[in-house]
Chain A
Amino acid sequence: MGFRKNMAEALELPKEIMLNLPLISFIGREEVSIENYKGILEYGEETVRVGTAVGVLRLTGHDLCLKQLSAECMVVTGRVEKLEFLQ
């Protein structure tokens, strides 16, 4: 892991691919896209829990809706209030 991290940093390679980390991007507070996730653990209008390589990610908000879901990427829309890493 350490070696990969050093190499990714030295060669300026994208870390989410080298280290298999999730890439989370926000558009304002109404859209969150999570790339490189492992799976959905819980899905509801108030809470979405997503498993990633660095732990469970919990999104809290109102009217959450899963806009897209594919093997690489998921997009959640709604009014996001919190984003936490559990564990």
Chain B
Amino acid sequence: MALWYYLCGYVRIRAKGFSAERFMNMAAFRGVYLWDVTQTGATMTMKAAGSSMDILEACAEKTGCTIEVLGWGGLPAFLGRFRRRQVWAAGLLLFAAGLYLLSSFIWMVEVEGNERLGEEEILSFCGEMGLKPGAWKRNVDTEAITNKLLENFSDISWVSVGIRGTDATVKLAETIEKVELVDQETPCDIIASADGVILQITAERGTPLVAAGDVVQKGDVLISSELTIGLEGEAQRTEYTGAEGAVTARIWQRLSEEIPLRYEEVLYSGVEKENHSLILSEKELDFIHPSGDEEWEKTVLEETPLALGDFTLPIKWKKEIWKACETVEKERTVEEAKALLEENLRKKAENLLSAYGKIENIEIKFEEYADCVRAEAEVTMAERIEEKRLRAKEKERENADGI
């Protein structure tokens, strides 16, 4: 009741006179609601609905009271105060409209629950479907995106796209990873993946076609899928199996590297300074930064997106460490260059090796030039060279060659 009168507006009046009670009775009888009546000496102050002022005046006249308006209250009076502050009111409206407008865009898209699937992959797919930062919220069809995600990613077993405030969250559950079964039935051969000399061959299944000491070329069949069943001299038949086995061979690889004799080195003076800057979408605003003639090497420590509650703003706070440095031109001797090259090449060769491989020998030839040293290395290594190839594919190739 009081709230209703607050919204409609009320008036505070003071009634003076011999029979203020009669005035109140008459007003109440005529349907005027009075409240907060307090007596101070001979006068009474009370509140009444603003629209009943006419009735109150008529009652006062009849009962011989004088009434005095102390003030107007309620929402109309409150709003009336702003009648002169039009720019202020416009600003208020503008702010509300701006807030509404800005909150009808999507500012952030997050992916939750992905383990094997890359976040980038899902985000770029969502972006194609229209769910990306800056998209109009009403144009985003979450149901369609959910369905498309399920269709396109076989690894997703469940997915929900939800928009809360200005953040869109893609929650998903991945399917249980399939166990990779070793296919023993489909006929396949073991072939050489590189040229080399066979050191050792172990066939688990299939017929070995080469022996230790044989020279093989890339693509040669090492273990065949053909199995000849039956004793010699009797009726024999051929069956095919998925060949399996390990073949180690000595292979050679050429590596080369070159390093200049003159080079630049960055020297740090030890001076470090922190720098803060604002990133507005793409542009970086760096108002205050360390001054000085030195060169600075910048390392970004963190980028914190600024947010207002649920609203993530497209503004980031960047924190950097600036290290003072100096670029110095240096020269190295041929001997130093050679040592460095050897080390680099050895590292390179080791990177080439698989878990089973071993470097047997590295032969390095240096070529000296005026401004650089070039090294050519021939690496001899023992390495597994087996590779599976489906027999069907081989047949296809043969057929194609035949035509």
| Partner-B contacts on A (CB < 8 A) | 39-45, 65-71, 74
Which residues of B lie under 8 Å from residue A70 when comparing CB positions? Answer: 28, 31-34
* Docked-complex contact B33 and A69, CB < 8 angstroms: yes
Which residues of B lie under 8 Å from residue A74 when comparing CB positions? Answer: 28
* Docked-complex contact B34 and A43, CB < 8 angstroms: no
* Docked-complex contact A43 and B20, CB < 8 angstroms: yes
Which residues of A lie under 8 Å from residue B37 when comparing CB positions? Answer: 43, 65-67, 69
Docked Cα-Cα span, A36 to B177, in Å, equals: 79
In the complex, number of A-B residue pairs with CB atoms less than 8 Å apart: 51
B35 is an interface residue with CB less than 8 A from chain A: yes
B38 is an interface residue with CB less than 8 A from chain A: yes
Contact of B24 among A43, A44, A45, A65 (CB under 8 A): A43
Which residues of B lie under 8 Å from residue A71 when comparing CB positions? Answer: 28-31
Which residues of A lie under 8 Å from residue B1 when comparing CB positions? Answer: 68
Which residues of A lie under 8 Å from residue B30 when comparing CB positions? Answer: 71
Q: How many residues belonging to B are interface residues under a CB distance threshold of 8 Å? A: 19
Nearest CB of chain A from residue B94's CB, rounded to whole Å: 41
Nearest CB of chain A from residue B390's CB, rounded to whole Å: 91
Docked Cα-Cα span, A17 to B36, in Å, equals: 27
Nearest CB of chain B from residue A41's CB, rounded to whole Å: 6
B interface, by DSSP: helix, strand, loop or mixed?
mixed
User: In this complex, what residue of B is CB-closest to A76?
Assistant: B37
Which residues of A lie under 8 Å from residue B28 when comparing CB positions? Answer: 39, 69-71, 74
| Partner-A contacts on B (CB < 8 A) | 1, 20-21, 24-25, 28-39, 44, 46
Nearest CB of chain B from residue A83's CB, rounded to whole Å: 19
Contact of B21 among A42, A45, A65 (CB under 8 A): A42
Docked Cα-Cα span, A45 to B36, in Å, equals: 13
Contact of B33 among A39, A40, A42, A68 (CB under 8 A): A68
CB pairs A–B below 8 angstroms (15 shown): A39-B21, A40-B21, A41-B21, A42-B21, A43-B24, A43-B39, A65-B37, A66-B24, A66-B35, A66-B46, A68-B33, A68-B35, A69-B46, A70-B34, A71-B28
* Docked-complex contact A65 and B34, CB < 8 angstroms: no
Q: 20 additional contacts, CB 8 Å, given A42-B21, A69-B28, A74-B28?
A: A39-B29, A41-B21, A43-B20, A43-B21, A43-B24, A43-B37, A43-B39, A65-B38, A66-B35, A66-B38, A67-B35, A67-B37, A69-B24, A69-B34, A69-B35, A69-B37, A70-B28, A70-B31, A70-B33, A71-B29
Docked Cα-Cα span, A70 to B36, in Å, equals: 12
Docked Cα-Cα span, A39 to B21, in Å, equals: 8
User: In this complex, what residue of B is CB-closest to A72?
Assistant: B28
Nearest CB of chain A from residue B269's CB, rounded to whole Å: 80
Docked Cα-Cα span, A65 to B34, in Å, equals: 12
Which residues of B lie under 8 Å from residue A69 when comparing CB positions? Answer: 24, 28, 33-35, 37, 46
Which residues of B lie under 8 Å from residue A67 when comparing CB positions? Answer: 35-37
Which residues of B lie under 8 Å from residue A42 when comparing CB positions? Answer: 21
* Docked-complex contact B35 and A43, CB < 8 angstroms: no
Nearest CB of chain B from residue A4's CB, rounded to whole Å: 24
